[in-house]
Amino acid sequence: MLTRNLGQALAALIAALIVAANVASAQSPALDPKEAAAAKTEAVQQRVQPLNNQPVWKEVRSGAPQVTTVTGRETNVLVLPQGQTWRAARNDLVSLGGLLLAIAVGALAVFYLLRGTMAVAVKPGDRVIERFTPPDRYAHWLLAIVWVTLAITGLVLSLGKTVLLPLIGYTLFSWLATVAKNLHNFIGPILIIAVPWMFVRFVRHNGIGIEDLRWFANIIGYFKGHEYPSGKFNAGEKLVFWLVLVVFSTVLVVTGLILVFPNFDQSRSTMQLANVVHMIAAYLAIALACVHIYLGTVGMDGAYRAMRDGYVDASWAQHHHQHWYEDVVAGKAREKFVQPETVVAHGQMPRSRAA
């Protein structure tokens, strides 16, 4: 009886194994010898030279259809061949961008050590001009705060792995990168409002003419303290307006939206292109913005006060923006002299009096 039961159990087990083997062979087709040889070569290469697996990438780049369960635009594309090209281009761009920024910041530091803050002697009893109205300043500071936050968080994401990770370690860097990524993604779209608002408020003083070329021809004089006369904004400021604000910021907004909303059926190659353009625009714009921020703070006395409180001394205006100063004196400019009492009433002492 026991022998018969054992015999039945053994027969059932053998039958189950045969069925399982048939099912498995039906699901995974046998490799043909060529494929088997290729897989073997790939496996060997992976062991011998893991970072240079030519057979794998040759197959990936062949574009031969694969099988995925993902639905949508790029179904059955396991690895995008141009993803490798994008990655290589991106890594080169990060290095070049980092170098550009280091040169810009280094050059400004050297210039500051040699030249110090560029200052204008304020005459006693000097009059004060309201250079920027509150709406001008609100538009500028909304843009500046959002833009600088995006620049810093963008740099953490782009250069952080190379520069910060070795310094602060994985735990802190992963927190920092997560915060940077979320801030970057969530505040980026604010530029859709901030850039046009700034454009509308400042465009009337940023027309370009032959005098701007002359100003650039005399750029050495600018840094030596002998400025070529300019209107409300000089040619350097107009460059910031047209390049950093209009061209680069618009490019950054458009490419940023393509990257942050991947749900509009854009392909991965579109996003890779958007990423490369986003990076080029960002590094060039940040390098120029460094010069702008330097001149707007420690580089030039009186400039920051103009954007913080709105006021400049007449001697500042005459020295830095002679044509604009003459228009204010002649009553032709929108900006007017203000009484020192008004300035004091707003809590801002004119420099000539505060001294």
Identity of the residue, 253 or 293, whose beta carbon is nearer to ligand HEM in the bound complex: 293
**Stretch of residues binding ligand HEM (CB under 6 A), selected from 88-96, 182-190, 275-283, 299-307:** 299-307
Candidate residues 168, 304, 323, 329; the one interacting with ligand HEM per rule CB under 6 A: 304
User: Which amino acid, one-letter code, is at 86?
Assistant: W
Tell me if 101 contacts ligand HEM by CB under 6 A: no
Identity of the residue, 160 or 299, whose beta carbon is nearer to ligand HEM in the bound complex: 299
Candidate residues 173, 215, 222, 241; the one interacting with ligand HEM per rule CB under 6 A: 241
| 120 close to 302: Cβ distance less than 8 angstroms | yes
Tell the smallest beta-carbon distance from residue 77 to ligand HEM (Å).
38
Tell me if 286 contacts ligand HEM by CB under 6 A: no
Tell me if 212 contacts ligand HEM by CB under 6 A: no
Tokens 């001008």 correspond to 136
Q: Which two tokens stand for residue 303?
A: 């400039």
**What is the Cα–Cα distance from 275 to 277, expressed in whole angstroms?**
6
**What is the Cα–Cα distance from 160 to 91, expressed in whole angstroms?**
13
Contacts (CB under 6 A) with ligand HEM, residues 51-80: none
Contacts (CB under 6 A) with ligand HEM, residues 129-158: 131, 140, 143-144, 147-148
The SS3 of residue 64 is coil
* DSSP secondary structure, 289-338, as one string: HHHHHHIIIIIBTTHHHHHHTSEEEHHHHHHH-HHHHHHHHTT-SS--EE
Tell me if 287 contacts ligand HEM by CB under 6 A: no
Bridge partners of 118, per DSSP, are 300
Tell me phi and psi for residue 210, to 5 degrees: -65, -30
Residues that bind ligand HEM (CB under 6 A): 131, 140, 143-144, 147-148, 202, 206, 233, 237-238, 240-241, 244-245, 249, 289, 292-293, 296-297, 303-304, 306-307
